[in-house]
Structure 1
Amino acid sequence: MVVLLTAGVIAVPLFKRIGLGSVLGYLFAGLVIGPFGLRFFTEPQAILHVAELGVVMFLFIIGLEMQPSKLWSMRKDIFGLGAAQVLACIAGLTMVGLALGFQPIPSFIAGTGFVLTSTAIVMQMLQERNEISTLKGQRMIAILLFEDLAIVPLLVIVTLLGGSGAATDASERWMAVAIAFAALLALVIAGRYLLNPLFRLLAAAGAREVMTAAALLVVLGSALAMQQSGLSMAMGAFLAGVLLSESAFRHQLEADIEPFRGILLGLFFLGAGMAIDLSVIAANWQIVVISVLAYMALKGVLIYAVARLLRACHSESLERAVLMAQGGEFAFVLYAAAVSAGIIDAEANATLTATIILSMMLTPVAIFIHGRLAKPEAPRTDDLEVPENVEGTVLMIGFGRFGQIVSQPLLARGYKLSLIDKDADFVRDASNFGFRVFYGDGSRSDILHAAGAATARAILICVDDKAAAIKIAHTAKQEFPLVPVLARAFDRGHAIDLLHAGVDFEIRETFESALVFGTEVLNVLGEDAQTAADVIEEFRDLDKERFALETIGGIYAGRQLIRGNAQPSDIIASRTARVRAEAEAREEQEGSPG
């Protein structure tokens, strides 16, 4: 365990620092400490067997985020997009084996195994890029879910294609299918009627460690039940997560499982790195290299083509192709079943396994190169209305959450707003709600002129991009020096930059809401309303003093000039004590008989 943890602790930060991601760090570390590196371990399969639980727990946590209603809404992506991609890739990748001179059935098995994308790698990458909840991330998850479901019929096909080593009795095959469906039904019933009462009972006992044990029991028990019935462990864990996604204990379960998930998933990638058999690669290096490049390139092209046919944009299609072009951990299961069925031999299995693992190692590199070379796709704006000779009382640049709130009192008083935003998708969405928002970049003087800045009584900068806000402020004050410019600031430093750019008024987007929140906190803590208001007003005055000094002479000079070397917190505490003393004196005076 010390060797495994040391390898991960050293490799992962190093690989993340150079931009190659944690997955490649784990795989490389596994290769270094494995049988073909420093030989700390000689049985990588033993590590992989335990580490598969990391993938299982990862799927459980994903299931917790997928309420049944949300999963139902994804059915078109799961069974439409997922099926289209899987079938197209199976047909295409089978041709690679045929082109290399192999028989049709082994070619089909080899290509089909490579079609099954690595759930662990894709989910880890999506999580690191904060894209799990995005639309493109959800579509990739839908494809992964279909691939998890597809492992069942694929294993049945392997059994049917097998020779003497495979079960050939039709009744046995139908019995296996019936057992699988019965296990699914039993898991759904147990999740629907037993899990919530179980967790309520355990919560009433008040033993936190028992809740953690129960969470692990649910994940591992459902995974084991699916495995014993011929399905994948990951599918069982995912279904258990979905069934508990609307439970009151959902967040508690996620918190209990998360530490185990992270460590075991890292252990899975370490095990995959150890499983790279360099002797097999050396003996068959030409076939391995050609197979890896051909499978990844053709699979990427097919994924891109399917995505474009189903109307995904170029950038999303390309990113999906790069991210999902590798083989996955389910290929190991499929190839092992093919060996048992007598379709491929042990050497072919080792070669195909090496091909899968190398593709997994190349994926972070491909993503890194894609991130450096890919240019962001220009938004489609041909159907959008651009400003032209617009006249309005107020010109608002940026109509997001902040701008929409600002617009309400202005519209209520009858002022005419000229609204521009450079987010093409948002402009389309805003029109669906009755707002007439023009598409345009507020930092361009020609757009400002066309949007009516010259005749406006005020220009409001409400964008959430700090650099863009400063650029717009410079342009607006240079072109229309007599028009007041009011701006939304991100933080204190941004507010100072906006004032230097010439804006007439700025407000930090969270400042006033934080003061209101602080007032309520003081009230909850028992301070009387007048004292709480006085303390907040003292802080507001102090902040104005500091801000004025910082704007003129820099932050350090401002702090020094306020009160010697005293820190702002000392000044606030001192003023708060004075306000509290005044309040107590006022209470004593009001309560005295005189």
Structure 2
Amino acid sequence: MSHPELILLFLLAAVIGVPLFRRLKLSPVLAYLAVGLILGPSAFNLVGDTETLLKFSELGIIMMLFVLGLELSPSRVIQLKSAIFVLGTGQLVLTTLVFTGVGMAFHLSWQTALVIGAALSLSSTAFAVQLLKEHGLITSKQGQDSFAILLFQDMAVVPLLLLLAALSPGGGETHLAPWYLIIGALAGVALFARFGLARLMEAVVASKVREVLTAMTLLLVLGSAWLMEELGLSAGMGAFLAGTLLANSSYRHQLHADIEPFKGLLLGLFFMAIGMTLKLELLWTAPRDVLVALLIFLLVKVLVLWPLARLWGHNWLKALQLAVLLSEGGEFAFVMASQAGLNGLITERQHELLVMVVGLSMVLTPWFFGLVKKLCGKVTQTEDAPRPAPSDKPRVIVAGFGRFGQIVGRVLAAYRIPFIALDKNATHVSLVRKYGAEVFLGDATEYDLLDQARAHEANILVVAVDDKRDSMAIVALCKARFPNLKLLVRAIDRLHAIELKQQGINKVFRETFSAGLQATHATLMELGVPESEVLDIIKKFREHDEALLESAVEHLDDEQARIRLIRASRNQLAKLLREDAEL
């Protein structure tokens, strides 16, 4: 199959397969695996060079490790430190040891058993978090502890990959650069992230060319991966390290938003390549082996996690749910299995069986979890939901922190009302930090950035951007994707205000209107007009102008009708004021 045909098939799989599997409440990972299975040797055998495809698609793993590094901000780790380093460590170590013991009982070498045990000890973050969201448990103690375990597993991925390399035959014959070069390179990356990156990003953002910012993000990921590989270390470790160093940066969310589409597509390609390596005939040539391996796998995961969760303070019902929730295999089991096969640590048969078991566990776990939850009864979140600090859930998001948004932010900060600021200007971002508020550098017209800013949890979005097109794009996006948000929108001019009204936005604030009325008030007072009369004039003009604005909504597309309406309105206002003056 030619490369264009392969690309077309992959895109077709993403566009058709993923929505279909989501409708069936199954993970997109399973969609890619299924498509790979169909295209691979087990079915139609449409793709010849699976190994080359697999090698290229490992770029998705590099980007995934970079994103994992970005998410490991110190504040997040500190918040869940006890659960991460006690519960997470206990789960990973105990599960790996039990699987290693089981493997050795089946006459595997300790190296092979350890690698398989480590691969199977990991769970799928994507699967587990989605299940928690679907069942309304994401903010419960159960959800927080599950997330802490998954976070520790993510942190352990790079050490596990290094362990795999060390255990492989000839693993001691590494091509590491001299130690001083490695230390110097790591120090250089750290210094660049601390002092150089901000200036470079400011220059890139100032260019206002979005493609350059995306290119900059890819350069950071692939450049760090290349550097570590040149030093004899893992390319994935380089990407993970780069992400970790940038985890506390103001640009973290923009980097995440830029890399996410590439990561998602390349990971999809990786899972499709894994699906091509699945040996479907195992289900009928060796059904007993598959069934026994799957049963042992699920039982070990549940029987290790269940008592651990009980010791951590969960009752036995919730502990069982947590154990079942994390009983599936993880995406990195495929990565470790692939690497172990290439390094000669596991045989082709063992690799096929491992991949098959992990894939089946992904299919079965959502159903098992739903069944266990139904049998145990509905678990209310009110009993064990942690009470987050006010800053954990933003009440207000301010999109655009220029002269308009800063006024809103200053008042919110003064009254200690938590808010998140979004802005494309690095200077504005620096200013927000003085208020102690959370700030995301990026374009608020993008869904990814609003999602990262937890727009689904906020109450109000103040659209304070100074670009009319961006303002309308944010409004349209929020109405479609975040209907929970109450929108308060800055209008650049009168026509913009009319367009916003036409979109159903009731809270529209014309930036020059109030200031103009204040100036009018001061002018009339200086001329000696009594204050009561001035206030009445201002009130009538405001009401009249607001009514005119509402009327103009119907004539937005008819310029002549709009002009006639304005002329008639002016005559009406003049007549009204004259009548008042004659009283």
Q: Following TM superposition, by how much is the alpha carbon of 1:299 offset from its aligned partner in structure 2, in angstroms?
A: 0.9
2:14 is paired with a residue whose SS is helix
2:170 corresponds in structure 1 to: 166
Q: Following TM superposition, by how much is the alpha carbon of 1:356 offset from its aligned partner in structure 2, in angstroms?
A: 3.2
2:533 corresponds in structure 1 to: none
1:42 is paired with a residue whose SS is coil
Closer, same or farther: CA 159–18 of 1 in aligned 2, 3 Å? closer
Runs of 5+ consecutive residues of structure 2 not aligned to the other structure: 1-6, 385-394, 396-456, 458-483, 490-499, 518-537
Q: Following TM superposition, by how much is the alpha carbon of 1:142 offset from its aligned partner in structure 2, in angstroms?
A: 3.7
Separation in 1 of the partners of 2:192 and 2:107?
A: 49
Q: Out of 153, 162, 167, which is 1:147 matched to? A: 153
Q: Out of 51, 74, 83, which is 1:77 matched to? A: 83
1:108 corresponds in structure 2 to: 114
Separation in 1 of the partners of 2:138 and 2:92?
A: 21
1:586 corresponds in structure 2 to: 573
1:396 corresponds in structure 2 to: none
Q: Out of 543, 546, 550, which is 1:534 matched to? A: 543
1:325 is paired with a residue whose SS is coil
Q: Out of 13, 18, 21, which is 1:15 matched to? A: 21
Q: Following TM superposition, by how much is the alpha carbon of 1:519 offset from its aligned partner in structure 2, in angstroms?
A: 5.7
Deviations 1:271-305 (A, max 9, x none): 23222123556554432321122112211221232
Closer, same or farther: CA 190–98 of 1 in aligned 2, 3 Å? same
1:521 is paired with a residue whose SS is strand
Separation in 2 of the partners of 1:509 and 1:112?
A: 43
1:321 is paired with a residue whose SS is helix
Q: Out of 185, 202, 208, which is 2:210 matched to? A: 208
2:224 corresponds in structure 1 to: 222
Separation in 2 of the partners of 1:305 and 1:17?
A: 34
Aligned partners of 1:96 and 1:295 also within 8 Å: no
Closer, same or farther: CA 272–349 of 1 in aligned 2, 3 Å? closer
Q: Out of 377, 391, 411, which is 2:379 matched to? A: 377
Closer, same or farther: CA 524–11 of 1 in aligned 2, 3 Å? same
- The one-letter amino acid of 2:50's match is P
Q: Following TM superposition, by how much is the alpha carbon of 1:248 offset from its aligned partner in structure 2, in angstroms?
A: 4.0
Aligned partners of 1:535 and 1:576 also within 8 Å: no
1:521 corresponds in structure 2 to: 509
Separation in 1 of the partners of 2:24 and 2:329?
A: 24
2:308 corresponds in structure 1 to: 306
Aligned partners of 2:65 and 2:240 also within 8 Å: yes
Q: Does 1:199 align with 2:205?
A: no
Q: Does 1:94 align with 2:100?
A: yes
The two structures have a TM-score, normalised by structure 1, of 0.60
1:327 is paired with a residue whose SS is coil
Separation in 2 of the partners of 1:111 and 1:250?
A: 34
- The one-letter amino acid of 2:509's match is V
Closer, same or farther: CA 340–381 of 1 in aligned 2, 3 Å? closer
Determine what percentage of the aligned residue pairs are the same residue.
34
- The one-letter amino acid of 1:24's match is L
Separation in 1 of the partners of 2:306 and 2:81?
A: 21
> What does residue range 148-547 of structure 1 map to in structure 2 within 5 Å?
148-154=154-160, 157-158=163-164, 165-168=169-172, 185-226=187-228, 236-279=238-281, 283-312=285-314, 317-335=319-337, 338=340, 343-367=345-369, 369=371, 375-378=377-380, 518=506, 521-522=509-510, 524=512, 530=539, 533-534=542-543
Q: Following TM superposition, by how much is the alpha carbon of 1:211 offset from its aligned partner in structure 2, in angstroms?
A: 1.1
Q: Following TM superposition, by how much is the alpha carbon of 1:150 offset from its aligned partner in structure 2, in angstroms?
A: 3.3
- The one-letter amino acid of 1:15's match is F
Closer, same or farther: CA 62–288 of 1 in aligned 2, 3 Å? same
Q: Following TM superposition, by how much is the alpha carbon of 1:74 offset from its aligned partner in structure 2, in angstroms?
A: 3.4
Separation in 2 of the partners of 1:267 and 1:197?
A: 35
Separation in 2 of the partners of 1:366 and 1:177?
A: 49
2:74 corresponds in structure 1 to: 68
1:293 is paired with a residue whose SS is helix
2:293 is paired with a residue whose SS is helix
Deviations 1:443-484 (A, max 9, x none): xxxxxxxxxxxxxxxxxxxxx9xxxxxxxxxxxxxxxxxxxx
2:509 is paired with a residue whose SS is helix
Separation in 1 of the partners of 2:342 and 2:218?
A: 32
Aligned partners of 2:274 and 2:334 also within 8 Å: no
Most deviating of 292-301 and 253-262: 253-262
Closer, same or farther: CA 245–342 of 1 in aligned 2, 3 Å? closer
Q: Does 1:47 align with 2:35?
A: no
Closer, same or farther: CA 343–314 of 1 in aligned 2, 3 Å? same
Q: Following TM superposition, by how much is the alpha carbon of 1:334 offset from its aligned partner in structure 2, in angstroms?
A: 4.1
Closer, same or farther: CA 261–123 of 1 in aligned 2, 3 Å? farther
Separation in 2 of the partners of 1:75 and 1:277?
A: 41
Separation in 1 of the partners of 2:126 and 2:485?
A: 38
Deviations 1:62-103 (A, max 9, x none): 554553333333333332222111111012222322443445
1:398 corresponds in structure 2 to: none
Deviations 1:418-462 (A, max 9, x none): xxxxxxxxxxxxxxxxxxxxxxxxxxxxxxxxxxxxxxxxxxxxx
Separation in 1 of the partners of 2:221 and 2:137?
A: 25
- The one-letter amino acid of 1:80's match is V
Most deviating of 66-75 and 120-129: 120-129
Separation in 1 of the partners of 2:237 and 2:137?
A: 22
The two structures have a TM-score, normalised by structure 2, of 0.61
Cα RMSD (Å): 5.0
Most deviating of 242-251 and 32-41: 242-251
Separation in 2 of the partners of 1:217 and 1:336?
A: 26
Q: Out of 27, 34, 48, which is 2:40 matched to? A: 34
Separation in 2 of the partners of 1:89 and 1:176?
A: 36
Closer, same or farther: CA 66–315 of 1 in aligned 2, 3 Å? farther
Separation in 2 of the partners of 1:134 and 1:178?
A: 47
Q: Following TM superposition, by how much is the alpha carbon of 1:306 offset from its aligned partner in structure 2, in angstroms?
A: 1.7
Separation in 2 of the partners of 1:313 and 1:535?
A: 64
Deviations 1:486-541 (A, max 9, x none): xxxxxxxxxxxxxxxxxxxxxx99699999x84652464678564685269869xx
Closer, same or farther: CA 41–369 of 1 in aligned 2, 3 Å? farther
Separation in 2 of the partners of 1:372 and 1:233?
A: 44
- The one-letter amino acid of 1:198's match is L
Closer, same or farther: CA 255–173 of 1 in aligned 2, 3 Å? closer
- The one-letter amino acid of 2:310's match is R
